[in-house]
Amino acid sequence: MEFGSLWRGGLPAGGSRRVAAGERCHWGAARYMPFEGTLERALTLYRAFMAECGVRLPTGYAPPLNYCIYYECRKYYSRAQLLKCLDYAAEAGCGLLYMDQGWEDYFSSGRWDETRFGPIGEIVRIIRARGLELGGLVGLHADSYVWPHECRRKDAEGRLAPGDRWGHWVGTCPVSETWRTTKTRRLLSVARGGMRFFSFDFNDGIEPCFDAAHGHDLPLDLWEHALGVARQQRAVKEAAPDTLIEAHCWRTSGSAYWPMYVFQGGHDERWGFEFMWDPFADLKQGRLQRLYYYNLAYEKPLYLHIDLAKDSARQIVFWYVVSTVRHPGIGNYSALSAERQAAVREATALYARHREYFTRGVFSGPDPLTHVHTLPGRGALVLRFNPQPQPSSGRVALDAGALGCGAGGGRVETLMGAPVRADFREGTLQAAYELDAESALIFRVVPAEG
């Protein structure tokens, strides 16, 4: 057992222990919280408990809308390509140009590639002149010899061990003190140059390390590997507290191997479960609803970017993602028709006008297709989704208290979609709606007192 999860089919490769016959172990406290009501009620109670334990929205959290250039540029690109994507980002209404991979001289080196892009300060000045900030991806393993020999992962025979499944064949040991201090120093140099967002990815612990000089168990187990990655992230966050940091899993790229509540203090947000590739299919098939359930269970923000070309004509994926991901990103604006680009600009402008509801509001909802974002004293935004290929209609009943309204109720303003027909009855808002195929509806509830 590990963090309350049961392993099936034998023990994992590392990070666990065997319990011998007759041996006694202490697993820590098991907490039970009785409740009455729905799954949504249970998850929000768990969220409140997690917030008490420190898994919560960071103080002053105000993330930008990212523009991810990976969809257009992939892993390697020129200065000219970067600046072209800056045009797309500015036109689409974004606040941060996310370079993803490709900003370094070699992957995972932590060194800005001045040969391709020029000095980082110069690029940052150009980007900020357009009203944006700069961000990039940070990896663990390398595809070249960018670290001293003593930082490398070694197999049992002392040979170089591979890094991960993604072509980064030079394995790095995150427990190496030389690596941790050098990587931190390099990233802080980039942060001082103006990079305001780091996404830590590709932290795979596939091959164990047998180098005794690193000071870890032999071989390195998964828990020590994860601790090493997390410590380095924390060193960056503590030295550059204004830098926004997103942490992928500390053990396997794209997964969520460790619970959300571990390694607090070294990051602001977590990764949105790899829904960056085909989010429209994920929505249609119900997988994207995991983001809804996550938000009921945790205040801890998520980061996720999406391919705009993998959305419906009415941007249902965009609205589902910004509703469930407090730090959203978009990309591939150039692949859209002029009509679709105009629709994206309208959507991002509407999002910007009500951004605080999405980034700082209390999230709730009676079902995965109805989301509520409430701000104290300012009422709520309500979003209703129709992922089906035909129009739909219906009614939703929402508790006035959950909408930030008192006994006096409030008024309803439709922000997007067909006007809703709504009234308050005995502390409940009854709203009738009509939705086009594969679209979203947004309305705002303003307390009568305001």
pLDDT in tens, 179-213: 999 999 999 999 999 999 999 999 999 889 999 99
Residue 3 pLDDT > 80? no
Between CA 211 and CA 150 the distance in angstroms is: 9
At residue 277, does pLDDT exceed 60? yes
Structure tokens at 182: 């050098």
Average pLDDT on 317-336 reads: 98
Residue 253 has pLDDT above 80, yes or no: no
Percentage above 70 pLDDT, the chain? 96
Residue 56 or 18, more confident: 56
Q: Find the length of the chain.
A: 450
The overall average pLDDT reported for the chain is 93
Q: How far apart are CA 370 and CA 382, in angstroms?
A: 7
- Give the mean model confidence (pLDDT) for residues 114-134: 98
Q: Does 14 have pLDDT greater than 90?
A: no
> Is the model more confident about 24 or about 380?
380
* pLDDT given for residue 258 in this prediction: 79
Backbone angles phi, psi at 192, to 5 degrees: -65, -30
Identity of the amino acid at 160 = L
Annotation: CATH topology of 364-447 = Immunoglobulin-like (2.60.40)
- Using CA atoms, how far apart are residues 163 and 133, in angstroms rounded to an integer? 31
* Omega before residue 119 within 30° of 0, cis: no
77 pLDDT higher than 50: yes
Q: What global pTM score does this model have?
A: 0.94
Secondary structure of residue 160 in the 3-state scheme? strand
- Residue written as token pair 């990039």: 136
Concatenating the DSSP letter of every residue in 209-270 gives ---GGG-S-SSPPHHHHHHHHHHHHHHHHHH-TTSEEEE--SSSTTS--S-TTSSTTS-SEE
pLDDT tens per residue across span 430-440: 999 999 999 99
CB contact burial 222-249 (16+ within 10 A = b; e otherwise):
bbbbbbbbbbbbbbbbeebeebbbbbbb
**pLDDT above 80: residue 28:** no
CA 209-210-216 angle, 5° bins: 80
Is the pLDDT assigned to residue 27 strictly greater than 80?
Answer: no
Q: Which residues pair with 98 in a beta bridge?
A: 68, 135
Fold of domain 66-361: TIM Barrel (3.20.20)
H runs (alpha helix) in 298-337: 316-324
pLDDT for residue 17: 65
Query: What is the residue extent of each domain of the chain?
Result: 66-361, 364-447
